[in-house]
Amino acid sequence: MAAREMGLGEWVMLGALSVLWGGSFLFNGILVKVWPPLTIVTGRVFLAAITLWIIIRLMGVTVPKSREAWKAFFGMGVLNNVIPFCLIVWGQTHIASGLAAILNATTPLFGVIVAHFLTADEKLTANRVVGLAVGFVGVVVMVGPSVLSHAGNDLMGELAILGAAVSYAFAGVYGRRFRAMGLPPLVPAAGQVTASSLMLLPVALVVDQPFSLPVPGFEAWAALFGLAVLSSALAYILFFRILETAGATNIMLVTILIPPSAILLAALVLGEQLAMRHFAGMVLIGLGLLAIDGRLWRKWKKKYAA
């Protein structure tokens, strides 16, 4: 069977998710000046967990207490937060952020392979492979092909980002089980970040000792809350919603959309200038997504085959 086709609503949600996660670059740019990376990651998931549990409480959503459900929350937390967040943070201390963005955009490439072998209904298709390749080239063009000249300078840093991409790929497939468990997207979103907080908090307290750091100003706290509430809590509700309806391979397309979202946000919020390569990259990414969607190709084929 072919991978699932996304409707307009799912494409809109995917675009919104890319903006929320693209915005995390703006928030992180503020936070890395005042806190060490592990403290930022821990604060992000911890505050996101508090936000989501407040929403669950207000909405009266039933939370499963079974060992099976919480085992799944911890598994998802490891694959979707703990491993990739730590690998990305460590990797970005060794390689440029542009190269890291390109390497992170390989997530859907790994994702279609993982889903092909581990699922029965998300198999590889020709238009998906072509679309992913075109979209990935668009990311390279947009970020700047010159960053690839530094590839290989720090192999371990690059492997760390690729390891994060592989972990995200497995997380997309692993997260499918929440639909089978009948859980609304809000519940696995909260369970995942809660499990991640329980795993990361002791490590951050020992390694970073955040209680000994100077208290930052309002801007840093605002950025942390933006990172936690918008780029984590709200983003993960959308993530699990798209995963539930569109499947694992489609949700991972967001990593191709994150670089253009981050660049556009930087232009709108920070006044950064857009270069011609940014527009060229966006066109290629758009063509790649059209190929992945496949509907225009099928209409054209049907029209001229008639």
The model's pLDDT over 158-214, given as tens digits with 9 standing for 90+, comes to 888 899 999 999 999 999 999 889 899 999 999 999 999 999 999 999 999 988 888
pLDDT at 12 > cutoff 80: yes
In whole angstroms, give the CA distance from residue 303 to residue 306: 6
Most confident of the following: 51-60, 119-128, 297-306: 51-60
CB atoms within 10 A of CB 275: 12
The DSSP code for 306 is: -
Query: What is the pLDDT averaged over residues 93-112?
Result: 80
Going by pLDDT thresholds of 50, 70 and 90, the confidence category of residue 90 is confident
Most confident of the following: 18-22, 56-60, 105-109, 253-257: 56-60
The tokens describing 286, both together, are: 């758009």
| pTM, entire model | 0.83
CB atoms within 10 A of CB 183: 22
Least Cα distance to 168 among 100, 301, 78, 269 occurs for: 78
In whole angstroms, give the CA distance from residue 301 to residue 297: 6
Residue identified by tokens 């994150």 is 258
The tokens describing 110, both together, are: 């790994």
The tokens describing 41, both together, are: 């990651």
In whole angstroms, give the CA distance from residue 268 to residue 53: 32
Q: Which residues pair with 123 in a beta bridge?
A: 2
In whole angstroms, give the CA distance from residue 258 to residue 252: 11
pLDDT at 304 > cutoff 80: no
Residues in the chain: 306
Going by pLDDT thresholds of 50, 70 and 90, the confidence category of residue 2 is very low
Q: Cβ distance 201 to 127 under 8 Å?
A: no
Percent of the chain with pLDDT over 90: 39
The tokens describing 130, both together, are: 């072509």
What's the whole-number average pLDDT of the chain?
86
pLDDT at 130 > cutoff 80: yes
pLDDT at 306 > cutoff 60: no
Alpha helices by DSSP H, listed for 32-185, are 37-59, 67-77, 83-92, 97-104, 107-118, 126-143, 155-174, 177-180
Residue identified by tokens 């690729």 is 162
